[in-house]
Structure 1
Amino acid sequence: MRNKLAYLGLLAGALAIFGTNVAQADELQDIKSAGVLVVGVKADYPPFGFLSPSGANIGIEPDLAANLAQRLGVKVQFVPVVAANRIQFLQQGKINLLIATMNDTPEREKIVDIIHPNYYASGYNVLAPKSVKLTSWAQLKGVPVCAIQGSFYNKDVGEKYGAELIAFTGVAEALAALQQGRCDAFLYDNTAIEGELTDPLWKAYDMPLPTLGEQPWGMAVKNGEPALASFISQASEDWAKTGYILSLETKYGIPHSAYAEQQHDKYKA
């Protein structure tokens, strides 16, 4: 009996230690142990996330990811994502972190942990041929408009302005459809449209309407990872405080956004 009790005591102790280790395990420690931070980024959204001529992931958001990896002392690995699959990739554990031009919305905050402070912001607008002569959103009623699956503003434009949306999974497909005349305009983030308009390919197009629905962009991790979320939150605050986001805008040749300037003024104080 004494031996049995001693065995049970050892077993209980082992289980307690094992349970403690499980409770203390978290994704931040897993990243450090693996030596790599896996980040979902866009590959079709210059200058925020795109591919170099050699096929490397570059842009403002890959640079932010690399900065986080450097702070952790690990390597960074990029996984290309699009609006239609980015949250699923995060939930399925294919990536540790999402930095992919994703607007911070109440619906998304219910299913993933969106990091605050937010790091950027954008609204939505349309890219359209100058010949279409758009001057108001009301002119889109009944007009075929290319869009991207999963974009939060699709519903707004379809319901409020009566646009006939044709949704694609990727930006390249949507832009090709616009060029082919399959739609009269392309609904997308104003920041991305501004980037496209710097390319001579789009000299016959413009962004003619007032930008609507500006919302902040959020990085995201899976729910239930407070240590990882806290680490990234501290980094995001530091980016705003030091003006790192502003320096990346300069690096990639875009004007300083009002949001980035406001966040810098807020946190440097």
Structure 2
Amino acid sequence: MNRRQLFRVAVTAMALSGLGAFAHADTVANLKSAGKMRVAVLQDYPPFGSVGPDMKPLGLDVDLANMIAEKLGVTAEFVPVSAPNRIPYLQTGKVDVIIASLGKNAEREKVVEYSKPYAMTFNGVFGPPDVKVSGPEDLSGKSLAVTRGSTQDLIISDLVPKDAELKRFEDSTGTQAAYMSGQADLFVTGNITAFMVAKDAKRPLETKFKLNDEGAYVGAVKGDTAFISAINEAIDALKADGKLNELSEKWLGEPAPANL
């Protein structure tokens, strides 16, 4: 390739980059023009996202989405997703934003623009008192229920011994059911979900060991920094007026961490 050809390639790349930045910069304006923001939410991950008796979505993520939408001057329109398809829905334009208890990892950061965290939890391995496990090395020969494509799945996959069995399910409801019915020895999930499952006396569970602390983030298309900045401004405002703390107390049963 000669210099002229190289120059043309460079100019074309710069132009496309500029067009992409311009399109991203218009996201908030486009949402306002449409009057709505399409939000990916989970329906099987209480208290962040579930379905109420009226068949409408409810949970911390739903309340937060409505608050952010109000700050942006639009209405939140909820689109049900699962843990595996929430990012593909964003990438293919089926939703404008993900507010679905989205954790952060290096692989996702390649395709998702993250907001500041709006909640803090931890992921871990949980199970009944009679299953003696205190670390990854004790998982040998054990079966573990985990939601496919979740942050927990990505972490535990790198930790389990070769003779441990990961039983992956398509959504959190299936994962919980598998543990409760005894299909798996252990349950890999977030502490909030584990706390709620523990209320069911059919099969108790306790924390075996922690995998990591995890924030919940709003996710937008990679490179759409203007949109994320607007979302961060909304989150900051919700922190300042105490509404984010109210959400934490309402849905998680405790105040938001001071360092959130």
- For the superposition of Structure 1 and Structure 2, which TM-score range results when normalised by the shorter chain? 0.7 to 0.9
Aligned partners of 1:111, 1:147: CA distance in 2, in Å? 23
Give the equivalent residue in structure 1 for 2:211.
212
CA displacement at 1:228 relative to structure 2 = 1.5
Aligned counterpart, 1:34: 34
2:245 aligned with 1:251, yes or no? Answer: no
Deviations 1:226-264 (A, max 9, x none): 33211101112222333322211222361235xx3322x
Q: Distance in 2 between matches of 1:159 and 1:68?
A: 35
What TM-score do you get using the length of structure 2 for normalisation? 0.83
Can you list the C-alpha shifts for 1:85-104, whole angstroms capped at 9, x where unaligned?
01000111111110111111
CA 1:156–1:122 in 2, change beyond 3 Å: closer, same or farther?
A: same
Q: 1:256 to 1:23 in 2, by over 3 A?
A: closer
- On the 8 A contact 1:40/1:98 being kept in 2, the answer is yes
Shift of 1:207: 2.2
**Partner of residue 175, structure 2:** 174
Indicate the residue corresponding to 2:258 in structure 1.
261
Structure 2 match to 1:141: 140
Q: Given residue 68 of structure 2, which amino acid in structure 1 is its aligned partner? A: L
**Any unmatched runs of 5+ in structure 1?**
1-18, 264-269
How far did residue 123 of structure 1 move? 2.1
Change (3 A) 1:134 1:33: same
**Bigger mean CA offset, 153-162 vs 142-151:** 153-162
State how many pairs are aligned. Answer: 239
* Counterpart secondary structure, 1:250: helix
Letter in 2 for 1:176: A
Shift of 1:133: 4.4
- Mapping of residues 87-102 of structure 1, within 5 Å: 87-102=87-102
Assess if the C-alpha contact under 8 Å between 2:155 and 2:211 holds in 1.
no
Q: Which residue of 1 aligns with 2:6?
A: none
Q: Which has the larger radius of gyration?
A: 1
Verify the 8 A CA contact 1:114 1:220 in the aligned structure 2. Answer: yes
Q: 1: distance between equivalents of 2:154 and 2:27?
A: 35
> Does the 8 Å CA contact 2:125/2:209 hold for their aligned counterparts?
no
1:222 aligned to 2:221? Answer: yes
Partner of residue 238, structure 1: 237
- Aligned-residue identity in percent: 30
Q: Provide the rounded CA distance (Å) in 2 between the counterparts of 1:249 and 1:56.
A: 21
Aligned-pair CA distance for 1:137? 4.1
* C-alpha displacement of 1:221: 0.7
- Structure ranking higher on relative contact order (CA contacts 8 Å, 6+ apart): 2
Q: How far off is 1:179 after superposition? A: 2.5
Q: How many Å apart are 1:136 and its aligned residue?
A: 4.2
* 8 Å contact from structure 1 (residues 48, 60) kept in 2: yes
Question: Structure 2 counterpart of 1:144, which letter?
Answer: S
The RMSD of aligned alpha carbons is 2.4
Q: 3-state DSSP class of the match of 1:47?
A: coil
Residues 231 and 46 (structure 1 numbering): CA distance in 2 closer, same or farther, change over 3 Å? same
Structure number with higher strand proportion: 2
Structure 1 segment 192-203 matched on structure 2, within 5 A: 192-197=193-198, 199=199, 201-202=200-201
AA partner of residue 217 (structure 2): G
Matched letter for residue 103 of structure 2:
N
Match of 1:65 in 2: 65
Note if contact 1:126-1:193 (Cα within 8 Å) is conserved in structure 2.
no
SS in 1 for 2:254: coil
Q: Secondary structure at the match of 1:210?
A: strand
| 1:172-197 per-position Cα deviation (integer Å, ceiling 9, x unaligned) | 11122223322111111122212332
Aligned residue type for 2:192: T
Aligned equivalent of 2:187: 186
Is this contact kept in 2: 1:127–1:205, CA < 8 A?
A: no
Report what 1:76 is aligned to: 76
- Aligned residue type for 1:180: S
- More displaced 10-residue stretch of structure 1: 240-249 or 22-31: 22-31
Q: Which residue of 2 aligns with 1:4?
A: none
TM-score normalised over the length of structure 1: 0.80
Secondary structure at 1:127 match in 2: strand
User: Which ranges in structure 2 are unaligned for 5 or more consecutive residues?
Assistant: 1-17
